[in-house]
Chain A
């Protein structure tokens, strides 16, 4: 029989090993899934994990996509990780992402066609504020009425999706869009366009901001008293209160940070890769970022790698869709399995498996 036994101290090796183990298990289980679908599992795994980076015929398109897809995932996941460490479960980053895009996009479009270098920074700020305010709704309701932030933030995603729909069919509808529910194209408005900084690399302004956010988040978490308070609040709420951490302020700050970053990610996305506000804009980054946050062990550096990996499954998944014609849902299942295995093997950090010696009767 196997027995779980608590380790005296959490294993440092397992902190690094468990995400790798989760990826391996996902490949195995995913392979089985593809085999059941009648596809060659080895080919499918190769297409998802290998081809986007190293297959010469597709890499010129897929490599830049890596940064474009990873950047919002990482930025959102960084924000979420603070809340998750403090046991504040913001599930609604998708809504904050959308509201950031709408708010920032609206500010930009309001200036059209004025050209100024100040417009884009102002849009980024508006995007962050949009996401921040959207996240303040669950924060306020939780502090004031102890409403569950999981439910409130999640429901607000659907409100945001409908709000976006109302905007692109109403005030923000492009006058030159032939009545389609889309906004003006940002790539036709240079002051508001978040284009590639170096051609064919996928590198845009948001990628740089994401990298900066990784560094700032790392310092905050490891070396700043705020990170310490967040970690304490999550691990041991009563000890945190004893040490002087105000739980309500922690709730507001954690939701605020995740909302602000998600909103900013939304703005960079809508003004660059997406190009315009439309009802097709919500891509699920806000939900996938939850997986990224956990896969990265709520650690900023880990999230950086997890975001790149998750971007790879997006891109590889698309390749597999049209090369092997697997259903789109199978890729979502694949990503879900990654989170599932991650959470399952996570127990090895604090526990070890032992072969229980047979008891003497």
Chain B
């Protein structure tokens, strides 16, 4: 079998880092090839080179045995290479057909195009109505638009970057069905994901990148998720162990919380009611944009609610600001590390002060106790294994995983009684994610109540006692995590229609 796309010795260096170091591998016709690696391993740079967004410093690519060096994405598309990005590039106020026409080199007239969209989407089970407004579509449907747009160009090679991060489990099934059908028809697929179970289910071969180099290849079917993760990280991983403990009294109670989102594109919260107990880890799942950010803001005190809607240890706190809540034992860690949980251009000492000022008693008559603050920052860095030259480095000089460890560590070291965290391991490498999860579990074992908002269902099943789903601003009743299946969670997510073709 001759390779469809063959990479040899691709190298790309950015100042201070070699993003790709002599990367070579082949993808056969119709092959579904996984590209594995942690954040910063060089996956994005590599696909950008294939798609013509970045030019390699050295090395060559061959497509169909002929030299292939796309100067721009248009050239890549002309050669039959298409890409579906993690973030969609669609206009909300245009219809599906208009959006697709915008992305084409020489779009046929609307009637023709509509006909072809219906044909292609029917053939691959990607049900989509060409006349609908993109703004009304769910994330899964938007992705279909992007895929249909690619398929209309008859690609020989389809690159997919983290395609399932916005999908419900049922939508993932539909997507996989489409990808397998494409593969049978001879289209090669380069599939980037860090969800290893999906790769096991879908991909025939995998190439593993670590620090810009190919460190191994494998047949995913013959591996376990753990063994692949270890190849990515280059060390043995330990999975945090969940101990089911008895839960004590309710620490945090939400009573019929309504919150109008201050973001015009946000989701308002509707009658959120739940109790969170001593020693309990409750997971809140759901696709992003269903009220997660609003719930976080309501709990952190950045958005105020009627006092009675939120009770901490029996006290009404809905109308109290962030610091008053911190003093009472409710600590939070928002999703966005840079700009929300931490100030990017401030040092780690200053960022330690950001939420630690009151509870750690870091001021005296309003003056900042510099030595004590630095000591607190150093304690976070040491106890949570934050890799940084020192406390006086800025937050944005840290890698995502290290900053996340800092942000989570900053709250955990302040001994919260109730800890709320949004996306604790988003974009964090496997080793750091395991550390963060064990820290959360340990916190709960010591009697704190923890609320974890996450889109990673595997993560929620691993660490939660109970799981509830946030969908269009409404929270489902929590169910015990023990014994629950991904399919059941998917059904709890509801929202978008599910179809098997």
Contacts and interface: CB of A to CB of B under 8 A. Distances in A.
Among A246, A350, A360, the one with the most B-chain Cβ atoms within 10 Å of its Cβ is A360
B15 A5 contact: yes
Interface string B314-356: 0000000111001000001010100111111110001001110
B366 interface: yes
A241 interface: yes
Contact of B58 (A8, A225, A242, A360): A360
Interface in A199-225: 219, 223-225
A116 to B, nearest CB: 35
Contact of B354 (A243, A354, A361): A243
B319 to A, nearest CB: 14
Contacts of A226: 366
A232 B343 contact: yes
A9 B394 contact: yes
Given A223-B367, A359-B55, A239 B321 contact: no
Among B56, B343, B353, B366, the one with the most A-chain Cβ atoms within 10 Å of its Cβ is B343
B370 interface: yes
A184 interface: no
A246 B358 CA distance: 15
Contacts of A8: 393-394, 397
Given A242-B302, A243-B354, A361-B55, A225 B340 contact: no
Interface string A231-245: 110011011111110
B104 interface: no
A225 B357 CA distance: 9
Contacts of B307: none
A238 B322 contact: no
Interface in A312-361: 350, 354, 359-361
B346 A242 contact: no
Interface string A8-21: 11100000000000
B92 interface: no
Contacts of B323: 243-244
Given A239-B354, A244-B301, 14 more contacts: A225-B366, A228-B350, A228-B368, A232-B346, A232-B354, A238-B336, A239-B341, A240-B343, A242-B332, A242-B334, A243-B323, A243-B355, A360-B58, A361-B55
Contacts, number: 84
A241 B304 CA distance: 12
Contacts of A244: 301, 321-323, 326, 358
Among A228, A244, A350, A361, the one with the most B-chain Cβ atoms within 10 Å of its Cβ is A244
A177 B473 CA distance: 72
Contacts of B55: 359-361
The list of the 9 closest CB pairs from A to B, nearest first, reads A244-B323, A236-B343, A244-B322, A239-B343, A8-B397, A243-B354, A238-B340, A360-B57, A225-B366
Contact of B353 (A10, A228, A354, A359): A228
Nearest to B354: A243
B363 interface: yes
B300 interface: yes
A95 B45 CA distance: 54
12 contacts: A9-B393, A232-B343, A232-B350, A238-B339, A241-B302, A242-B355, A243-B354, A244-B322, A244-B323, A360-B56, A361-B55, A361-B69
A243 B357 contact: yes
A276 to B, nearest CB: 41
Nearest to A240: B343
B321 A236 contact: no
Contacts of B302: 241-242
Contact of A354 (B15, B326, B346): B15
A241 B322 CA distance: 8
Given A232-B354, A360-B56, A224 B368 contact: yes
Contacts of B300: 242
A360 to B, nearest CB: 5
Give the interface size bracket for A toward B.
Answer: 20 to 34
B294 to A, nearest CB: 14
Main secondary structure of the interface of B (DSSP, over half): loop
B324 to A, nearest CB: 8
Contacts of A359: 55, 57
A242 B323 CA distance: 9
Among A225, A242, A243, the one with the most B-chain Cβ atoms within 10 Å of its Cβ is A242
Nearest to A220: B366
A226 B357 CA distance: 12
Contacts of B58: 360
Contacts of A224: 366-368
B15 A235 contact: no
A231 B332 CA distance: 22
Given A8-B397, A241-B302, A236 B368 contact: no
B346 A235 contact: yes
Given A10-B345, A235-B345, A236-B345, A223 B370 contact: yes
A201 to B, nearest CB: 34
Contacts of A232: 343, 346, 350, 354
Contact of B339 (A9, A239, A246, A361): A239
A238 to B, nearest CB: 5
Among A239, A246, A354, A360, the one with the most B-chain Cβ atoms within 10 Å of its Cβ is A239
Interface in B80-127: none
A246 B321 contact: yes
B341 A242 contact: yes
A129 B248 CA distance: 56
B367 to A, nearest CB: 5
Interface in A238-271: 238-244, 246
B368 A225 contact: yes
Contacts of B394: 8-10
Contacts of A235: 343-346
Contacts of B334: 242
A224 B367 CA distance: 4
Contacts of B326: 244
Among A9, A246, A359, the one with the most B-chain Cβ atoms within 10 Å of its Cβ is A9
A13 to B, nearest CB: 15
Contacts of B339: 236, 238-239
A244 B323 CA distance: 5
Contacts of A231: 346
A119 to B, nearest CB: 33
A242 B370 contact: no
A176 B57 CA distance: 83
Among A232, A241, A243, A360, the one with the most B-chain Cβ atoms within 10 Å of its Cβ is A243
Contacts of B321: 244, 246
A239 B340 contact: yes
A225 B363 contact: yes
A293 to B, nearest CB: 19
A240 B57 CA distance: 42
Contact of A223 (B15, B344, B355, B368): B368
B389 to A, nearest CB: 10
A246 to B, nearest CB: 7
A10 B300 CA distance: 31
Contacts of B336: 238
A2 to B, nearest CB: 13
A235 B58 CA distance: 40
